[in-house]
Amino acid sequence: MLRYFRRQTAEKGVIFWASLLLFIGVLILFSASKGVLAKEGIFLKQCLWIIIATIAGVFIKKIDYRDFQRIAPLLYFIISLLLIAVLFLGSAGASRWIRLGIFNLQPSEFAKLITVITLAAYLAEKDIKRFPVLIVSLFIVGIPFLLVLKQPNLGTAFIFIVIFFAIIYEAGATRRQIITLFMLGLLSSPFMWFIMRPYQRERILTFLNPMRDPLGKGYNLIQSIITIGSGGLFGKGFLRGTQTKLAFLPEYHTDFIFCAFAEEFGFIGVIVLLGIYFMFFKSIVEVIYYTRERFARLLATGILVMFIAHVVINTGMTMGLFPVVGIPLPFISYGGSSLMVSLISVVIVANIKENTIMF
């Protein structure tokens, strides 16, 4: 039976798994919107975003993914400008958003995908083993990395590092190159401590000891763990979560949405959700495996690793395995920019798959 199930699911493409995740996301957001804060608006807004993103996806589906290789420099240029703009125009506090009417655009979300495209496009034609190529690759990731770090958005900056290593690895970087870069990064991390803003340091210290700041991030983490733990094996049931409904967790609909899920669907639910994510990842790996084109392979790898890193860091931080950073859970967290990028990425992967079969 397991074998049957496997065969059935293996045939399903990346779009199937993504849709399933999206459905779960809508369900849990619906539940979250019923809380004391009565954020009814977020549910409708997210639905609207899904429609917009789907329409965008249909159009992008028509574009041959190879075209991205050509327009990569243009996209890269635009997003760099937007990232600079957000530093000046961004809404105060952490400057991450550009306001567009009722919606807020978060350029850093788009920057992740565009960096993947650009790096893949560049390395598709260059040999990473050559030193100058490695340096240029470093620059391609370095610019958005620093701009995002300046916002400051520690989590997204970290995603850039992961993406960089994954793509150069896939492009055939030597073990020595990777280890050297890794060590260099590790050595420079103490310096990072000094350029961090006080609140970022505070977050890291709070991660190490949540009780350090029981009023701020520590409070979130404690509540987040209680919320997950109180879900138990089977969960409290759909729409019956109490922790999230009573707004113990201020950000339960965005970065902490996993808690709402774990509270209502329990341990079993978590295993199923992670299982779906796993199948989703596998369907992307499948595409990477079959494609013969170097650009497609690098592109899909970058997208894959981007998704994996998001899921692992987001779920990990809600249960105290990682520091609390602003990383959304793909397809599930509330947020238009993140959703848009996730759907476009999926469409690109599906596009690669179709073109591969035609070979």
Stretch that binds another protein, among 113-121, 148-156, 267-275, 333-341 (CB under 8 A): 267-275
Is 100 in contact with 49 (CB distance < 8 Å)? no
**Which C-beta is closer to another protein: that of 109 or that of 264?**
264
Window 181-210: residues binding another protein (CB under 8 A):
210
Stretch that binds another protein, among 71-79, 126-134, 136-144, 244-252 (CB under 8 A): 244-252
Instruction: Out of 301, 333, 337, 345, name the contact with another protein by CB under 8 A.
Output: 301
Strand partners, 326: none
Neighbouring CB atoms inside 10 A of 15's CB total: 18
**Which residue is associated with the tokens 């339960």?**
252
**Which C-beta is closer to another protein: that of 57 or that of 330?**
330
282 binds another protein (CB under 8 A): yes
CB of 78 to another protein, least distance (A): 28
41 binds another protein (CB under 8 A): no
Q: What is d(CA 241, CA 32) in angstroms, rounded to the nearest whole number?
A: 9
Window 149-168: residues binding another protein (CB under 8 A):
166
6 binds another protein (CB under 8 A): no
**Which C-beta is closer to another protein: that of 81 or that of 94?**
94
Instruction: Out of 109, 170, 255, 264, name the contact with another protein by CB under 8 A.
Output: 170
Instruction: Kindly state the tokens that stand for 131.
Output: 């030193």
266 binds another protein (CB under 8 A): yes
Residues 6+ apart with CB under 8 A from 96: 86, 90, 106, 108, 151, 153, 326
CB of 221 to another protein, least distance (A): 10
Q: What is d(CA 312, CA 264) in angstroms, rounded to the nearest whole number?
A: 20
Instruction: Kindly state the tokens that stand for 110.
Output: 């788009």
249 binds another protein (CB under 8 A): no
**Which C-beta is closer to another protein: that of 100 or that of 233?**
233
Long-range contacts of 226-230 (CB under 8 A, 24+ apart): 227/252, 227/259, 227/260, 227/262, 227/263, 228/258, 228/259, 228/262, 228/263, 228/318, 228/319, 230/263
278 binds another protein (CB under 8 A): yes
3-state helix, strand, coil in the chain (%, to 5): 75, 0, 25
281 binds another protein (CB under 8 A): yes
CB of 54 to another protein, least distance (A): 27
215 binds another protein (CB under 8 A): yes
319 binds another protein (CB under 8 A): yes
Stretch that binds another protein, among 61-69, 229-237, 325-333, 345-353 (CB under 8 A): 229-237
Is 231 in contact with 267 (CB distance < 8 Å)? yes
Give the gyration radius of the chain's Cα atoms. 20
Q: What is d(CA 229, CA 273) in angstroms, rounded to the nearest whole number?
A: 17
DSSP symbols for 257-313 = HHHHHHHHHHHHHHHHHHHHHHHHHHHHHHHHHH---HHHHHHHHHHHHHHHHHHHH
Is 36 in contact with 246 (CB distance < 8 Å)? yes
97 binds another protein (CB under 8 A): no
Residues engaged in binding another protein (CB under 8 A):
36-37, 92-93, 166, 169-170, 210-215, 218-219, 222-223, 225-233, 242-243, 246-248, 262, 266-267, 270-271, 274, 277-278, 281-282, 285, 288-289, 301, 304-305, 308, 312, 315-316, 319-321
